[in-house]
């Protein structure tokens, strides 16, 4: 089996970007393809609730998204990438039962029907759709084959399905109770607000119609929503970047960080003296090899002077190496301290 691979881990990975940026993730934006992907991944209702839709900025690791939303955005990113092989590590566990059915029917079994899919899941109601089933028990393969083959081996999936169905029914019952409770509270709140509005209108004798009140409320909601959109857009800002070469001030600041300004000239003189005596000793060696030069000095004196120059060059080299090591160590410490100080004093949103 070969080809390009898309992998969806069980813990969703979300980038600090917009929702659309997380789905396209570097691929070219195709509106028709994009709309179909968000449809099969059941993201359309979520886009309606987000402040700026699919252009809403997502914080680090998706802090402003639910677990189900992060899982579906991750799945949408894999589907949009259009790979040959899909490895899906339990993408249905983080979503509700009815959303899971949509993801399986429309996405995994629908749009990806011509792809190679490896689905890890405990949603046993879908096992009959699988081409090949691998049953794991405590991390080991206990059985493998099609659904009919496993049933012939005496493996009873019904008890697992009943267990999952009971769990799903309990979740649905809790959801229905919560919806009924919210509706009841909403009705009570609406009745109370109507009574308060009637009393207020009678006391103030203001003949405002319900249509005017609704228009005012709509304007307020539009203003609030507009502010939310602007706030969402401000979460992500473009970083300032330097595209030109390194300015000379950077070199100058680095040189000043090597040694204090008072020791800069002695440090430069040590470097010049070290190079100078090295060059002079090479010139003197050439004079020794040429009998026509410096005839007034004996050969022994020439060798002695060369040895003296060599010893001086060695001393200056050691001094230069020692001072250079100290200078680099000092520069690293100062630059690191300056960088650390700036990072510590950054605003809190710098770390998002």
Mapped onto helix, strand or coil, the DSSP state of residue 143 is: strand
Is pLDDT at 303 greater than 60 in this prediction?
A: yes
For residues 104 and 111, the answer to whether their CB atoms sit within 8 Å is no
**Tens digit of each residue's pLDDT (9 = 90 or more) over 220-248:** 566 555 555 555 555 555 556 666 677 88
Instruction: Give the residue from 99, 122, 145 where a domain finishes.
Output: 122
- Considering only residues 2 and 299, tell me which one the structure prediction assigns the higher pLDDT: 2
User: What is the pLDDT, as a whole number, of residue 296?
Assistant: 61
Expressed as residue numbers, the domain containing 324 is: 248-351
User: What is the pLDDT, as a whole number, of residue 223?
Assistant: 56
CATH of residue 63's domain is 3.40.50.300
- Count of structural domains, the chain: 2
Q: How far apart are CA 253 and CA 241, in angstroms?
A: 20
Instruction: Give the residue from 65, 96, 122 where a domain finishes.
Output: 122
User: What is the pLDDT, as a whole number, of residue 1?
Assistant: 65
Q: How far apart are CA 139 and CA 156, in angstroms?
A: 19
> Residue 95: inside a domain, yes or no?
yes
Average pLDDT, the chain: 78
In this prediction, residues 306-316 reach a mean pLDDT of 85
Question: Based on the number of CB atoms within 10 Å of its own CB, is 49 exposed (0-12), middle (13-18) or buried (19 or more)?
Answer: exposed
Q: Give this prediction's pTM.
A: 0.49
Residue carrying structure tokens 């030069």: 293
Instruction: Give the residue from 63, 96, 122 where a domain finishes.
Output: 122
> What is the DSSP track for 145-198?
E-HHHHHHTT---HHHHHHHHHHHHHHHHHHHHHHHHHHHHHHHHHHHHHHHHH
Q: Which helix (H) or strand (E) holds 94?
A: none
For residues 16 and 8, the answer to whether their CB atoms sit within 8 Å is no
> Residue 141: inside a domain, yes or no?
no
- Residue 292: band (very low, low, confident or very high) from pLDDT cuts 50, 70, 90: low
Is pLDDT at 194 greater than 70 in this prediction?
A: no
């Amino acid at each position: 089996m070969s080809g390009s691979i898309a992998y969806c881990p069980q813990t969703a990975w979300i980038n600090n970007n917009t929702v659309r940026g997380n789905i396209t993730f570097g691929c070219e934006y195709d509106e028709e393809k994009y709309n179909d992907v968000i449809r099969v991944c059941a993201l359309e209702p979520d886009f309606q609730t987000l402040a700026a839709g699919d252009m809403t900025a997502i914080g680090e690791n998706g802090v402003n998204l639910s677990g189900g939303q992060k899982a579906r955005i991750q799945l949408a990113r894999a589907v949009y990438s259009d790979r040959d092989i899909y490895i899906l590590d339990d993408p249905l566990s983080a979503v509700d039962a009815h959303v899971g059915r949509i993801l399986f029917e429309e996405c995994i079994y629908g749009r990806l029907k011509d792809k190679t899919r490896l689905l890890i899941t405990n949603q046993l109601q879908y096992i009959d759709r699988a081409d090949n089933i691998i049953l794991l028990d405590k991390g080991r393969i206990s059985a493998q084959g099609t659904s009919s083959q496993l049933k012939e081996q005496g493996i009873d999936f019904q008890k697992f399905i009943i267990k999952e169905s009971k769990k799903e029914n309990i979740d649905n019952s809790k959801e229905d109770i919560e919806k009924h409770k919210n509706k009841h509270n909403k009705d009570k709140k609406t009745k109370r607000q109507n009574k308060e509005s009637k009393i207020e209108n009678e006391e103030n004798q203001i003949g405002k119609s319900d249509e005017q009140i609704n228009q005012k409320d709509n304007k307020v909601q539009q203003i609030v929503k507009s502010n939310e959109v602007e706030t969402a857009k401000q979460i992500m800002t473009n970083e300032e970047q330097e595209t030109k070469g390194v300015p000379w001030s950077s070199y100058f600041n680095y040189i000043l960080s090597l040694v204090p300004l008072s020791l800069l000239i002695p440090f430069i003189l040590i470097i010049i003296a070290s190079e100078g005596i090295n060059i002079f000793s090479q010139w003197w060696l050439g004079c020794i090899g040429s009998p026509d030069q410096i005839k007034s000095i004996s050969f022994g004196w020439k060798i002695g002077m060369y040895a003296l120059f060599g010893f001086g060059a060695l001393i200056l080299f050691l001094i230069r190496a020692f001072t250079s090591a100290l200078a680099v160590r000092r520069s690293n410490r100062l630059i690191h301290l300056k960088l650390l100080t700036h990072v510590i004093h950054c605003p809190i949103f710098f770390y998002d």
